[in-house]
Amino acid sequence: MDSLGQFEQIVLTAILTLDGNAYGVTIHAKVEELSRPKKVTRGAVYATLDRMEDKGLISSWLSEPTKERGGRSRRHYRIEKSGEKALRESARTAQRLIETIAQTLGGLAWKPR
Amino acid sequence: MEATLNEPPPWLEQMVLLAIPPAARESVAGDLWETYQSPHQYAAEALRTVPFVVLSQMRRNLSPLALMLQGALIFLCLGGPATLVFLPFLMLRDAYQPVTRPTPRRAIREAILLSSWAMVLLFLFMAHHPPFPVRAGVDPFTWLSLFLAALFLSPFLCLFRAGLIMQGDRRMPLAADNLSKDALAGAYQTFLKTAFCRNVLEGTALAFAAIAGFFFTWNVLLIGLFVLAAVYLLLDTIPRVASAGDFVSLRAQYQRELLRQEQLRRALRWLWFAPVLVTLQARLAITATDAQDMVIALLNGVAAAILCFLVAALNREFGGRVQEQIGLLDRMRES
């Protein structure tokens, strides 16, 4: 299984937290929130979504067209089993990193922000 | 997200729609519309978004082997500078691949336009390329005959294109809006079986063609490509049983496999025609000394242009069918 890049982890987490309402606009908003203070372009989110879909980590489908979108459909995203697994693995690695850094910098009362 | 009362100006929206690749148009344009605040914000957001979408679609739809073969053919026929001009164009064409098959009228218009352009370009190429001093030694009657022959090619190409469309119309599977999970799994399994058999047959045929290539003294690189393609196809024949999952997962798997198989086929269509194109190019490259040789060279050039058109038409038609099927699956609901 391929390991996830940092941005992929953020996008996957955004889809996971948005549950049934994950589409371009909401995912971008959530990704911006998670990546603060860094600004993220929506295009980068689309490109990452496409890449993760090709890897089979997420799946997508089109909703019914809506008036507030000029009669266009939303592309909804959902995390797949392999995506969940990859995200769990990344979280475990991050946890180990946090623990190691906290142990090393413990004297400085270091805390992840 | 709250609905906005404002709407982007139609002219601006049209420009943005044109810039977004068709495969992503629906969702990306809808997202841009949903977050619309002012024309300036809309345009700025589109400018920031569209390049990423284009690159992403390019990566998704591009078949490296097909691009490599097309690049090599352009390089052989037109040289390095032309390759540098054409390659980015070919890559962009992959990104902007239409999601539907062309209408019969449009396809036939394309056939006429393309055959006419091929003739004009060929004529210009022959007139200015040093080994082909067109006017020297060729009588006007020969020229007239050649161009009349070219003129009659258009109906042939139109018939070929119309035939492809009619054949595609007869075989559009999965046209339902709703499908049960079992029916979808059945359709996917049938597709996998067909792809498996096709890959075994085509892999074997490619291997035989590579062996034949030794006897016909083909280019070593070409034989190598045939061998590589055969090995890839024969190794790719492990049956992929649709793994367990719900409707959405199954549909995503089906879409991915459809796209993967089509990318493979697109490259293989170019590969099958490559030996003929290379042979025609080799004949073209021979410096003509008398009028008879020049006419043969010209006919070879015309044949190469037509062959390229036929391969491109096949790829356009079959690629359109796959994109249409992916679009149908995108909108399909579980019944």
> Based on the domain organization, do B162 and B266 belong to the same domain?
yes
> In this structure, are residues A26 and A38 in contact, taking their beta carbons and an 8 Å threshold?
no
Kindly tell me the sign of the dihedral angle through the C-alpha atoms of B33, B37, B40, B41: negative
For residue A72, the 8-state DSSP code is: B
Read off the pLDDT of each residue in B308-326 and give the average, rounded to a whole number.
Answer: 83
Inside any domain, residue B303? yes
Q: Which two tokens stand for residue A65?
A: 């067209």
> Based on the domain organization, do B37 and B83 belong to the same domain?
no
Inside any domain, residue B288? yes
Higher-confidence residue: B314 or A86?
Answer: A86
> In this structure, are residues B22 and B60 in contact, taking their beta carbons and an 8 Å threshold?
no
Reply yes or no on whether the pLDDT at B295 is more than 90: no
**Chain-chain contact of B51 with A75 (C-beta, under 8 angstroms):** no
> Based on the domain organization, do B31 and B160 belong to the same domain?
no
DSSP letters for B134-150: TTTT--HHHHHHHHHHH
What pLDDT digit, counting tens, does each position of B55-96 carry?
A: 999 988 887 878 887 887 777 767 778 888 888 888 888 888
Inside any domain, residue B1? no
Of B38, B57, B76, the last residue of a domain is B57
Across the strands, what pairs with A59?
A78
For the CA atoms of chain B, what is the radius of gyration?
A: 23
Spell out the residues 6+ positions from residue A78 whose beta carbon is closer than 8 angstroms to its own: A15, A22, A58, A59, A60, B248
pLDDT at B313: 79
Read off the pLDDT of each residue in B304-318 and give the average, rounded to a whole number.
Answer: 80
**Chain-chain contact of B56 with A50 (C-beta, under 8 angstroms):** yes
**How far is A20 from A61, CA to CA, in rounded Å?**
12
pLDDT at B316: 82
Inside any domain, residue B2? no
The most confident of B9-13, B76-80, B238-242, B328-332, by mean pLDDT: B9-13
Which positions in chain A touch B4 (Cβ < 8 Å)?
A: 68
CA neighbours within 13 Å on the CB side: how many for A68?
A: 10
Inside any domain, residue B3? no
> Based on the domain organization, do B43 and B70 belong to the same domain?
no
Identify the residue among A55, A68, A73, A84 best suited for mutation to test binding to B, counting B beta carbons within 10 A and taking the highest.
A68
Reply yes or no on whether the pLDDT at B103 is more than 60: yes
> Based on the domain organization, do B216 and B304 belong to the same domain?
yes
Interface of B with A in 248-287 (CB under 8 A): 248-249, 251-253, 256
Inside any domain, residue B246? yes
> Based on the domain organization, do B40 and B146 belong to the same domain?
no
Higher-confidence residue: B285 or B162?
Answer: B162
> Based on the domain organization, do B241 and B315 belong to the same domain?
yes
Spell out the residues 6+ positions from residue B105 whose beta carbon is closer than 8 angstroms to its own: none
> In this structure, are residues B210 and B244 in contact, taking their beta carbons and an 8 Å threshold?
no
The domain tally of chain B equals 2
Read off the pLDDT of each residue in B293-322 and give the average, rounded to a whole number.
Answer: 76
> Based on the domain organization, do B231 and B307 belong to the same domain?
yes
Of B33, B48, B55, the CB nearest to A47: B55
pLDDT at A31: 95
Read off the pLDDT of each residue in B256-283 and give the average, rounded to a whole number.
Answer: 84
- Percent of chain B with pLDDT strictly greater than 90: 18
The most confident of A24-33, B143-152, B266-275, by mean pLDDT: A24-33
Query: Which domains can be identified in chain A, with CATH numbers?
Result: 6-108 (1.10.10.10)
Q: Which two tokens stand for residue B123?
A: 């004529």
Cis previous bond, A37, omega within 30: yes
> Based on the domain organization, do B38 and B126 belong to the same domain?
no
Of A43, A54, A72, the CB nearest to B30: A72
Q: Which domain holds residue B86?
A: 64-334
Return the residue matching tokens 């082909």.
B132
Inside any domain, residue B24? yes
Least confident of A17-31, B98-112, B187-201, B221-235: B98-112
What value does the mean pLDDT of chain B take?
A: 79
For residue B101, the 8-state DSSP code is: P
> Based on the domain organization, do B229 and B289 belong to the same domain?
yes
* A–B CB contacts, 8 A cutoff, strictly below: 99
- Give the pLDDT band of residue A1 (cuts 50, 70, 90): low
| Phi/psi of residue A9, nearest 5 degrees | -60, -40
**Chain-chain contact of B330 with A68 (C-beta, under 8 angstroms):** no
> Based on the domain organization, do B92 and B124 belong to the same domain?
yes
The model carries a pTM of 0.79
**Chain-chain contact of A70 with B1 (C-beta, under 8 angstroms):** no
**How far is B162 from B141, CA to CA, in rounded Å?**
33
For residue B284, the 8-state DSSP code is: H
> In this structure, are residues A46 and B26 in contact, taking their beta carbons and an 8 Å threshold?
no
Of B313, B301, B247, nearest to B102 (Cα)? B313
What pLDDT digit, counting tens, does each position of A58-109 carry?
A: 999 998 888 888 889 999 999 999 999 999 999 999 899 888 888 887 755 5
Of B1, B52, B330, the CB nearest to A25: B1
Of B191, B228, B214, B203, nearest to B321 (Cα)? B191
Which positions in chain B touch A44 (Cβ < 8 Å)?
A: 52
pLDDT at B3: 43
The most confident of B71-80, B258-267, B277-286, by mean pLDDT: B258-267
> Based on the domain organization, do B47 and B174 belong to the same domain?
no
Reply yes or no on whether the pLDDT at B135 is more than 60: no
**How far is B90 from B77, CA to CA, in rounded Å?**
16
Inside any domain, residue B5? no
Spell out the residues 6+ positions from residue A3 whose beta carbon is closer than 8 angstroms to its own: A86, A89, A90, A93
Q: Which two tokens stand for residue B118?
A: 């091929």
